Structure 1
Amino acid sequence: MGAEVGLDARTGALVELSAALARPDVEGWRSALEAAAAHAARAEIEEALLQAHLFVGFPTVLDAFIAWRGIAGGETIGAVAPVDRPGDGEALCRAVYGGVYDRLRDHVRRLHPELDAWMVEHGYGRTLSRSGLAVETRELCIVGLLAAAGHKRQLRAHLHGALNVGTPPGRVEAALRVGIRAAARAPAGSERSAGTDPARLLAIWGEVVDRAGRDGGRNVEEESCSST
């Protein structure tokens, strides 16, 4: 796996790893972990794995850490302390969602108040506000993962979110294409999500770019207001 044009080798390897976690393919995880180990720091790789639990669940991340221990050996370095400061999650969530932050919170609260609390306190606070990865890198990893998984609504939100936190469009598109390629590498015989159609995913990106251009890059569409 080479670095996607538009992404440096380190970021590309972390996005590739995140995208690989969207599929139940342990051998694919190992390959992505080995590539990441050649380009990224151990703490960065572990942060990418940790944040993935928000999107693929604890069982996948636990198994991925087992594979990672087989490659890296030893115990986690534990260099990054968890975030537990009131307001960190709200500040990051607002930065990602920009002008629709309040609508997002209202929407999720209507789905269930606990989802709203967990999204901000656990998702954006204790997980995504950790210092082990820059917010831009976190968003690029999320874009790659969501594209590979075919979660179109959440993908749209985080494409906007990556732009909102200052990521150049070329890097966002590169992460998207990593996810598209990861979906295409699904193991033979495995079921592929209808949401991973490359043309549709690229069309979503085109819509995001058009909307960002009209709104100065600081807005997210109404239909995106339903995702961590």
Structure 2
Amino acid sequence: MEILPCCHLSFALAAPERLDPRIALERALEKCPLAEVEETILQSIPYSGFPAAVESLGWLRELHPEADPFPRNETSQPKRFFEQIYGDGQEKVRASLRDRHGDLERWIIEFAYGTVMESSWLSSDSIEALAVSSLIGQARLQPLHSHLRGALRTGHSRKSLTLLFESLHKVADPQVLRAAGKMLERECSSD
């Protein structure tokens, strides 16, 4: 999968004021198969919400009315994907979610990790690259740190994540990119 154009789309859906989502969608369609672009939009739902997905899927159908939606993976095991992303820190994340609101843990694990992520045919490293891009767009540093760790756990290298950061330098907040770079440096130096 040519991930960077889809990462830019994920970023745009999270930060439309920094990168026009329609432009990002058209650029992704120039470089990536339609099914990958569609899946990128679906994977954006836990980060950017339903309104961004509904709107961008509408644009996608305007551009490709003949396209059939790609079939979903129906074997959902939300705990497995959650464990892969958070590793040994998963209990701390679960406790943090419970502390914020009694329903939040269940909703995130069942919906975001179960319904959305586990039903995807994308690889876990691709899903994490999309998550990192979205969180950079939103300047959400705490979850970004968790998902940078998740990206490393799913097979990304320092180099691949640095390339992702560099590809976003024209549209992302420079302070957020610097913070992301420092987080990545700390994570990679602690190995």
The equivalent of 1:137 in structure 2 is: 126
For residues 80 and 93 of structure 1, the distance between their equivalents in structure 2, rounded to whole angstroms, comes to 19
- 1:153 deviates by 1.4
What is the one-letter code of the residue matched to 2:65? G
Q: Does 1:14 align with 2:6?
A: yes
The equivalent of 2:115 in structure 1 is: 126
What is the one-letter code of the residue matched to 1:132? W
What is the one-letter code of the residue matched to 2:134? L
- Indicate conservation of the 8 Å contact 1:43/1:77, yes or no: yes
What is the one-letter code of the residue matched to 1:39? K
Return the TM-score normalized by structure 1.
Answer: 0.75
- 1:176 deviates by 2.8
Provide closer, same or farther for how the CA distance between residues 205 and 63 of structure 1 changes in structure 2, counting only shifts above 3 A: same
Q: 2:151 aligns with which of 162, 172, 197?
A: 162
Q: Does 1:174 align with 2:129?
A: no
For residues 21 and 176 of structure 2, the distance between their equivalents in structure 1, rounded to whole angstroms, comes to 26
Aligned to 2:170, the other structure's residue is in SS state helix
RMSD: 2.1
**Can you give the 5+ residue segments of structure 2 that lack an aligned partner in the other structure?**
none
The equivalent of 2:189 in structure 1 is: 213
Measured against aligned partners, the alpha-carbon deviations of 1:78-133 in whole angstroms (never above 9, x if no partner) come to: 3223443xxx2111111111121111111111222311001111111111112421
For residues 58 and 64 of structure 2, the distance between their equivalents in structure 1, rounded to whole angstroms, comes to 10
The equivalent of 1:32 in structure 2 is: 24
The equivalent of 1:186 in structure 2 is: none
- Indicate conservation of the 8 Å contact 2:149/2:187, yes or no: no
The equivalent of 1:153 in structure 2 is: 142
Return the TM-score normalized by structure 2.
Answer: 0.88
The equivalent of 1:53 in structure 2 is: 45
- Indicate conservation of the 8 Å contact 2:158/2:184, yes or no: no
Q: 2:102 aligns with which of 113, 136, 139?
A: 113
Q: Percent identity?
A: 25
Aligned residues: 190
What is the one-letter code of the residue matched to 2:181? W
- Indicate conservation of the 8 Å contact 1:93/1:120, yes or no: yes
Measured against aligned partners, the alpha-carbon deviations of 1:112-169 in whole angstroms (never above 9, x if no partner) come to: 2311001111111111112421111111111111112211111111111101111111
The equivalent of 2:70 in structure 1 is: 78
Q: Does 1:201 align with 2:169?
A: no
- Indicate conservation of the 8 Å contact 2:22/2:59, yes or no: yes
For residues 72 and 4 of structure 2, the distance between their equivalents in structure 1, rounded to whole angstroms, comes to 22
Which aligned runs of 4 or more in structure 1 are off by greater than 3 angstroms? 81-84, 177-180
- 1:173 deviates by 1.9
Measured against aligned partners, the alpha-carbon deviations of 1:165-223 in whole angstroms (never above 9, x if no partner) come to: 1111111122233344333xxxxxxxxxxxx3x14432343233323432x3xxxxxxx
- Indicate conservation of the 8 Å contact 1:20/1:148, yes or no: yes
For residues 111 and 141 of structure 1, the distance between their equivalents in structure 2, rounded to whole angstroms, comes to 25
- Indicate conservation of the 8 Å contact 1:156/1:205, yes or no: no
The equivalent of 1:41 in structure 2 is: 33
